[in-house]
Amino acid sequence: MSLLTVGSVAFDKIETPFGKTDKIIGGAATYITLAASYFTKKNNLVGIVGADFPQEMIDSLKAHGVDTAGLEVDPNGKTFFWSGRYHNDMNSRDTLETQLNVLENYEPTIPEQYQDCEFLMLGNMVPAVQHMTLNKFHKKPKFVMLDTMNLWMDIAMDDLKGIIAEIDCLTINDSEARQLSGDYSLKKAANTIMAMGPKTLIIKKGEHGALLFQGERTFFCPALPLEEVFDPTGAGDTFAGGFIGYLAQTDDFSFENMKRGIIYGSAMASFCVEKFGVERIQNLTEREIDDRVMEFVQLSSFEIN
Ligand code: AMP
């Protein structure tokens, strides 16, 4: 099945307790499409970069099978730039700078050949732009998933609720779930959020794993305890890419299959944090992914009499 991801392709500058980077490649759609490339061959990208974006990275996406026909290059613009600093726990961070640049007035265009994509991933962007993007489909894709962040809850809550009402699956982190719902209990928050529209909800808890909710059913996947975590940037997007890539590969929306998707997403995210930026998820083998998934299986399986 074909997947289309719409989202940011960016330059990031990151500081963690273990080091800092100069401008490196980032962006939600970059992480999502790279992660999904290990699962689906029909992997399309819609986004925008400026003339300063390196052709080698576009070539690397293509080498991963990502169709970049929908990636616009604005010859007069600069690529979106984001800079962040992680706290000592690596679970929380401050945004130091955001330069929208080419994203400022960007209106995604859906190339005709992507109109029939079955899976749509709306990466973190202005909610009104996410909504406008969805409205550009002649026929709604059969599975629409959305990622967002606290910033939009602070400044565009109504727009955000508008698009959330239209989607099948939402991924957010635990503090965002509490902010969106007004509930402290994540179980209550999940029920409140699912009543807003999405039948499926994923609440990410960083190094404490992820929860999957669908109706009355709940599943929990731990995060792998890693010896070294260098950079959590993009872990949420990589998780989303692994999850929706796996669903696109299997075309199975059962709760049991979504549970497997959560494990694959978590496995991909566990690779992402091992190096700065996209480096680790650019160079994975199927064998490494399979071995990592088995570590997840072993981590939480037990027998009981
Ligand atoms: P994550 O760590 O999964 O939340 O995603 C981090 C990525 O999101 C970085 O590579 C940034 O370039 C990108 N990003 C940060 N803020 C925004 C924003 N306001 N709009 C779009 N993308 C963003």
- pLDDT, one tens digit per residue, over 170-208 is 999 999 999 999 999 999 999 999 999 999 999 999 889
The mean pLDDT of the chain is 96
pLDDT of residue 107: 96
Given a cut of 70, the residues of the chain with pLDDT beneath it are: none
Centre of ligand 1 to C-alpha 11, Å, is 10
Residue 183 vs residues 50, 154, 202, 219: alpha-carbon distances, Å: 41, 16, 16, 19
Encoding tokens for residue 22? Answer: 């100069």
| Fold of the domain spanning 3-299 | UDP-N-acetylmuramoyl-L-alanine:D-glutamate ligase (3.40.1190)
pLDDT of residue 247: 98
Instruction: Report the distance separating Cα 238 and Cα 38, nearest Å.
Output: 11
Ligand 1 binding pocket includes 241 (Cβ within 6 Å)? no
- DSSP E strands, 60-129: 66-74, 80-86, 93-99, 119-122
Ligand 1 binding pocket includes 172 (Cβ within 6 Å)? no
Ligand 1 binding pocket includes 83 (Cβ within 6 Å)? no
For ligand 1, atom 20, name the residue with the nearest CA. Answer: 125
Ligand 1 binding pocket includes 233 (Cβ within 6 Å)? yes
Ligand 1 atom nearest to CA at 149: 4
Listed by start position, the domains of the chain span: 3-299
Ligand 1 binding pocket includes 9 (Cβ within 6 Å)? no
Encoding tokens for residue 121? Answer: 């991933």
Instruction: Report the distance separating Cα 37 and Cα 242, nearest Å.
Output: 8
Centre of ligand 1 to C-alpha 79, Å, is 13
- pLDDT, one tens digit per residue, over 228-277 is 888 999 999 999 999 999 999 999 999 999 999 999 999 999 999 999 99
21, 91 Cβ separation under 8 angstroms: no
Ligand 1 binding pocket includes 126 (Cβ within 6 Å)? no
pLDDT of residue 90: 83
pLDDT of residue 61: 98
For ligand 1, atom 22, name the residue with the nearest CA. Answer: 8
pLDDT of residue 163: 98
Ligand 1 binding pocket includes 234 (Cβ within 6 Å)? yes
Ligand 1 atom nearest to CA at 82: 12
Centre of ligand 1 to C-alpha 250, Å, is 28
Residue 124 vs residues 65, 129, 188, 226, 266: alpha-carbon distances, Å: 22, 10, 24, 26, 19
For ligand 1, atom 9, name the residue with the nearest CA. Answer: 27
| pTM higher than the cut 0.95 | yes
pLDDT of residue 291: 98
Ligand 1 binding pocket includes 124 (Cβ within 6 Å)? yes
